[in-house]
Structure 1
Amino acid sequence: MVKEGWTGRYYEDFETGDLYRHRLGRTVTETDNTLFTMLTLNTNPIHFDEHLAAKMPFGKILVNSCFTLSLAVGLSVSDLSEHVMANLQWNDVKLPSPVFVGDTIYASSEILGKRESTSRKDVGIVTARTTGTNQRGETVISYERTFMVYKRGHDPRDTLER
């Protein structure tokens, strides 16, 4: 017997006030930071020059903050984004503590609100606040994201032959 794996949440599954503690954590490696920094053409040497970084206020290489954002988003996908049509807005991005190579990042998301789309009947709009913390429990990132998510029975991926 074939059993379906987790397929994610649809618009109807979200309720304001719900809090999702995302299942996975991820330890940041030097390779992650260097590749992301070079891929995005971020030429600030604080992300890849150990000699310079040692002389800066944090005393070591900082993980690229856009990598931190991308990682926090990725950690939230299985709970929030499996049926997302599109991201609409990012607000209030905060980076209260630095991330260093070797830190393990965890994330949680709270649903701030949801509403019907006025332009599309097959999706709804959800806003969530995601918070990323390190292994010491320090908040390293928080942001609000508003996205369109399919209603049950309307995601084209659900009808793909596998």
Structure 2
Amino acid sequence: MRTFGNSFSSIRGAFYFAGILWLALFVLFVSLDRIHADLPSRLMSSIIYSLGIASIPLVAIVPTCAFAIRVDASSVKHVFLGRVILSARSLDDLRAVEIGSGWGAVMKFEKQRPIRFLGASLPELQSLCVHLSKLRPNQISSSAGLVAGGLLEVENQMRKRGRHDT
């Protein structure tokens, strides 16, 4: 059994981005307040505004850690918080996986509703497709949208260069 999805360690970059964004916005707001000689009266509002804006990426990304796809030898399960099974489908009925259609992946099954897996990183979705194709060779089609395909190609090229450089 293998589980695919975001974890707090895999979204560490979002926390770094939010921290840098907060610092940049805080410096900007304090600088503007200082130019207008309102620094003492607006320091607290500058902190609150910059934290509010910088938290937007975290509010959008952190909830994706609650959802995962669990694949075993016979089934594909959409799982919430690692315990609650939202939906389960037979691996034999899986026909296609589309990456980049919306914000994640769509797994299409024969005569059943698709499983929509939102918010996982592209490398994680690529690993899911590779794992599924190993379990069901020549029976599952996978496709990536234009942007997702381009990003995955760039990442694969960077990984190859990194391996050749070491």
With normalisation by structure 2, the TM-score equals 0.29
Greater relative contact order (Cα 8 A, min sep 6): structure 1 or 2?
Answer: 1
Bigger-Rg structure (1/2): 2
Query: Which structure features the higher share of helix residues?
Result: 2
With normalisation by structure 1, the TM-score equals 0.30
Query: Which structure features the higher share of strand residues?
Result: 1
